[in-house]
Copies of this chain bind each other. A is one copy, B any other.
């Protein structure tokens, strides 16, 4: 697997003309160290070893399950083994839902099995399954505008398609069928929901993921079939006969459990009370081993902080492994709440949570007065084939809720071309992680966090957004 080079036209479209020049906000020795840090990290194997350790010794770690707490213990042990200065955890109340088996089949006109998985938080079907005629929609919007009498008593099928994209751009639009489809279908009188998996693969792996029942609607069972089954089903529909399916989803909801954000720090030598936060989420879906989502992120940020330790950073590097991202940023919300009075001490934050492929662009969202520091970072990232981007970074799912509190963030954007082939499937496993590409990630994260830690100018909170 080789890195993907972007065509020049895209590269120039992304260049940020307003980016400030690098000045002496970062001392020359630190810049020299950053080069060395980058080149050493690029050759190291630690990032991959951490992902291997997590996926082999813990495996799937759905929030609320026993394995989730095994992962918490694993994280504390790993921070210790890597010599972090301060290790602690923060309790988070998480949902506890588990899946049993899932099966489905076309009952008529052409009986055959379908590969299906329950969506996260779906209620179970009756034992023996839920049987019903399918009613077809291309999107949740089309369903929303449908006549309830066409839907009542049937199983809604949504065939929203997602196409391959470097930045995974269609995820946000396609995912609506998964996240709110069951509520919209239920309001129209449907007895169940089945969707085409939100994924870019052409395979027999259904993609699970989070969904929410809106308050007041009857909870109906919801599952996703694989993209291969979706193609088969649409070819069957073309044949013009009504299609009846049976789907049996075994799921169980338990009482909420306590999980933890696990935090490890490399204490700063000059500004110990100022933090550069680099994060990932520790939880995963239950069917794969969470190697890409988000074992890779865990490996990247732990290994990056470990590499920085050798260079004795001025600010504190804080690695946060968030609990239960998949449940809807549950650990991140708790982190923000618990640290409400200290958020101004976080001088820059970012989360790695988009797989393990090469990074191709660096974006920031910082105070304009600090763009000179970003310019230093850009220069050191360039040999990694990472372009400078814009100052509108989101920062990654779990830190995306920090900028509204003034916390500056950054994004190291990964090639996501095949991320949604494996996302939330049993196929999210270690063999999808390329050690060379992962090392490029570790090098980039180390560079960003280290240079931000070394800047001798004040790192400012984001300016308040003007309200209209």
* A positions within 8 Å CB-CB of B: 52, 55-60, 67, 101, 110-113, 115, 202-205, 227-229, 231-232, 235-236, 239, 288-289, 425-427, 429-432
Considering the complex, give the chain B residue whose CB is closest to the CB of A427: B204
- A205 is contacted by which of B52, B57, B204 (Cβ under 8 Å)? B204
Contact, CB under 8 Å: A110 / B232:
no
Given contacts A204-B429, A205-B204, A228-B431, contact A239 B60 (CB under 8 A): no
- The oligomer's copy count stands at 2
Point out which of A58, A111, A426 has the most chain B C-beta atoms below 10 A from its C-beta.
Answer: A426
Q: How far is the CA of A228 from the CA of B287 in the complex (A)?
A: 13
Given contacts A228-B427, A228-B429, contact A204 B110 (CB under 8 A): no
A25 CB to closest chain B CB, in angstroms? 44
Q: How far is the CA of A228 from the CA of B113 in the complex (A)?
A: 24
Q: How far is the CA of A113 from the CA of B430 in the complex (A)?
A: 14
Q: How far is the CA of A115 from the CA of B430 in the complex (A)?
A: 14
Contact, CB under 8 Å: A57 / B431:
no
Point out which of A55, A59, A67, A111 has the most chain B C-beta atoms below 10 A from its C-beta.
Answer: A59
Contact, CB under 8 Å: B431 / A60:
no
Given contacts A59-B112, A59-B113, A110-B59, contact A235 B429 (CB under 8 A): no
A328 CB to closest chain B CB, in angstroms? 25
Given contacts A231-B430, A232-B289, contact A110 B56 (CB under 8 A): yes
Q: How far is the CA of A57 from the CA of B240 in the complex (A)?
A: 12
> Apart from A56-B232, A59-B232, A202-B432, what are 18 other A-B pairs with CB-CB below 8 Å?
A56-B235, A58-B110, A59-B110, A59-B111, A60-B112, A112-B289, A203-B203, A203-B205, A203-B427, A204-B205, A204-B426, A205-B205, A228-B427, A228-B430, A228-B431, A231-B429, A231-B430, A232-B289
A298 CB to closest chain B CB, in angstroms? 16
- A232 is contacted by which of B113, B115, B229, B430 (Cβ under 8 Å)? B430
A208 CB to closest chain B CB, in angstroms? 13
A422 CB to closest chain B CB, in angstroms? 9
Residue numbers in B under 8 Å from A60 (CB-CB): 112-113
Given contacts A203-B427, A204-B427, A289-B112, contact A235 B52 (CB under 8 A): yes
